[in-house]
Amino acid sequence: TREELTRSERLAAIGQLTATVSHELRNPLGTLTTSVAVLQRAGTLAGERERGELDRIQRNVRRCVRIIEDLLEFSRRPDVSMVPLALDAWITEQASDLRALSSVELALDLDCDRIIEADGERLRQVLVNLVQNAMQAVLERPAGSPPGRVAIVTAAEGERVRITVTDNGVGMDDEVRRRLFEPLFSTKPFGLGLGLALVKRITERHGGSVSISSEPGRGTRVDITLPAAGEHADAA
């Protein structure tokens, strides 16, 4: 169909341009991250203010790295390297990075005693993009709204695991719901529109699926199901 063609043309264009630019940006950003970490550890910056500025630099460098990783996902070969992950423990490990995305409250409600086979780097990208979208939706609400809340919930369902990300943000209308997996579709002034396309792509490569339900003014719920590889007998 004509829509299909546009989609693959778009992906090809993104791939060519970003492969070059992203690789070029990766090295200097890596250097920056290391330099800031050295300064933070040295602790020679006297004032509260200066240390705050360093943290701010670090946060923003990380943000740039995340954008580049998302772009690279569309230009690299689609091979994944799977390792066994104890789902709940792994999500708990990601929590501090996820909370650093914004000041919106992030709750974890983890109740899945399963191991999955996953590419940890890719799955982290999925989680980061979903939580980032959820937090942004919360921050888009008008002033005076009730407390914003994002939650990650896990559950075991037979041979599969379910990861759910919910928010009480602005939600989506029909038009947005129809188009959200389209690469480069975004309603945000500076949105790349790659997040959910990437979420779908990575999830499907793991043998999983994504479903999204949303209501304008009430919030959004994203469900990801993945095959389980086994029971996680020990909590360690």
Closest CA to 131 of 109, 111, 102, 157: 102
213 token code pair:
């339900």
Per CB under 6 A, the segment of 15-23, 25-33, 76-84, 192-200 that binds ligand ADP is 192-200
- Least separation in angstroms between CB 96 and ligand ADP: 21
Q: Which stretch binds ligand ADP (CB under 6 A): 42-50, 84-92, 111-119, 167-175?
A: 167-175
d(CA 180, CA 169): 16
Q: How far is it, in rounded angstroms, from Cα 88 to Cα 105? A: 19
Q: According to the binding rule CB under 6 A, does residue 203 interact with ligand ADP?
A: no
Of 203, 193, 198, whose CA–CA distance to 75 is shortest? 198
Site string for ligand ADP, 205-234 (x = CB under 6 A): ---------------x--------------
Among 15, 120, 193, 227, the residue binding ligand ADP under the rule CB under 6 A is: 193
Q: Which residue is nearest to ligand ADP (CB)?
A: 195
Token pair of 42 as six digits: 């040295």
The interface with ligand ADP within residues 37-66 (CB under 6 A) comprises: none
CB of 49 to ligand ADP, least distance (A): 32
Does position 169 interact with ligand ADP (CB under 6 A)? The reply is yes
CA–CA distance, 88 with 29 (Å, rounded to integer): 31
Helices 87-99 and 120-139 cross at an angle (nearest 10°) of: 50
Both structure tokens of 73: 């996902």
Give the residues lining the site for ligand ADP (CB under 6 A).
129, 133-134, 137, 167, 169-172, 176, 180, 185-188, 191-197, 220
